[in-house]
C-alpha cells in the first residue's frame, strides 16, 4: 500500500471479510499494545505523545484517571468524523474501550525509571510500540479508532500523504495539551514528527489484503 490507506469498508463488510481468525487477534493485540505504550512514554518524562499530553492536561482539570481521560477524548473526537464521513467499525468501539484500560493497567505495574539511560529505553520502547501497534490494529481492517479515523478521513479529504496529515494533527493536539498544562518535552516533539512516517512504514507490512480490495466497481 503506497498511500498508507486502503479501500474503505462498511461495518458489515469488515465483519464479513475473510481472514477473521487472523484479523481479530491482530486488532486486539494492536489496541492493547497501543494502550500499553503510553505509560512508557509518560514515565520516561522525556515527552509523551501529543494525545497523552492532552490526556494529562485533562486530568489536571478533572477527577479522571489518565486512562479514562483518554477514553473521553476518544468519544469527543468521534464528533469530527461526521463531516469527514469516516466509517466506524468494531475497531472503533474496541479502541474506545481497550486503549484506556490497557494504559491504566500498564501504569500500575510499570516501575519508574531509575536513571537517564532507563528513561531513554522507556521512551524508545514507547515510541516503537505506539507506532507499530497503531499500524497493527489499523491493518486488521476493522475500522479506525477515533484518533486514526480523524487522520484517515483527513487523508481522503485532502489527498495529502498520511505522514503530512498525521504530523499536522499531532502538532495541533500537542498545542492544546500544552495549553491545559500537560507535560511537554523534546520527546513529545519527536513523537509528533516521527509517528506519522513510522506508522506509514509499518502499515506496508501489517495491512491485511482482502478480496474486497480487488472490487473496483
Per-residue pLDDT at 167: 81
Per-residue pLDDT at 5: 47
Q: Per-residue pLDDT tens for 104-135?
A: 999 999 999 999 999 999 999 999 999 999 99
- Supply 83's cell numbers: 463531516
- Supply 74's cell numbers: 476518544
Chain centroid to Cα 148, Å, comes to 6
Per-residue pLDDT at 4: 44
**Alpha-carbon gap, residue 187 to 124, rounded angstroms:** 10
Per-residue pLDDT at 23: 94
Over the Cα atoms of the chain, what is R_g?
17
Q: Mark the ranges of the chain whose per-residue pLDDT is less than 70.
A: 1-8, 215-217
Q: Per-residue pLDDT tens for 180-208?
A: 998 888 888 888 788 878 988 999 999 99
Instruction: Tell the residue number behind the cell numbers 501504569, with chain if given.
Output: 107
Per-residue pLDDT at 6: 60
Amino acid at each position: 500500500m503506497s498511500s498508507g490507506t486502503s479501500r474503505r469498508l462498511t461495518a458489515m463488510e469488515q465483519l464479513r471479510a475473510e481472514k477473521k481468525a487472523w484479523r481479530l487477534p491482530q486488532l486486539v493485540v494492536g489496541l492493547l499494545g497501543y494502550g500499553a505504550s503510553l505509560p512508557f512514554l509518560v514515565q520516561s518524562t522525556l515527552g509523551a505523545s501529543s494525545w497523552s499530553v492532552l490526556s494529562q492536561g485533562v486530568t489536571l482539570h478533572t477527577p479522571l484517571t489518565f486512562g479514562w481521560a483518554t477514553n473521553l477524548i476518544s468519544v469527543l473526537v468521534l464528533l469530527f468524523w461526521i463531516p469527514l464521513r469516516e466509517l466506524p467499525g468494531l475497531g472503533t468501539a474496541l479502541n474506545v474501550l481497550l486503549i484506556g484500560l490497557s494504559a491504566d493497567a500498564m501504569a500500575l505495574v510499570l516501575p519508574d525509571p531509575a536513571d537517564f539511560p532507563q528513561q531513554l529505553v522507556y521512551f524508545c520502547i514507547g515510541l516503537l510500540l505506539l507506532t507499530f501497534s497503531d499500524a497493527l490494529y489499523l491493518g486488521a481492517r476493522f475500522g479506525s479508532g477515533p484518533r486514526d479515523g480523524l487522520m484517515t478521513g483527513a487523508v481522503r479529504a485532502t489527498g495529502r500523504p498520511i505522514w503530512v496529515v498525521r504530523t499536522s494533527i499531532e502538532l495541533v493536539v500537542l498545542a492544546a495539551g500544552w495549553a491545559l498544562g500537560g507535560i511537554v518535552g523534546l520527546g513529545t516533539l519527536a513523537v509528533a514528527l516521527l509517528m506519522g512516517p513510522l506508522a506509514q512504514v509499518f502499515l506496508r507490512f501489517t495491512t491485511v489484503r482482502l478480496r474486497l480490495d480487488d472490487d473496483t466497481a
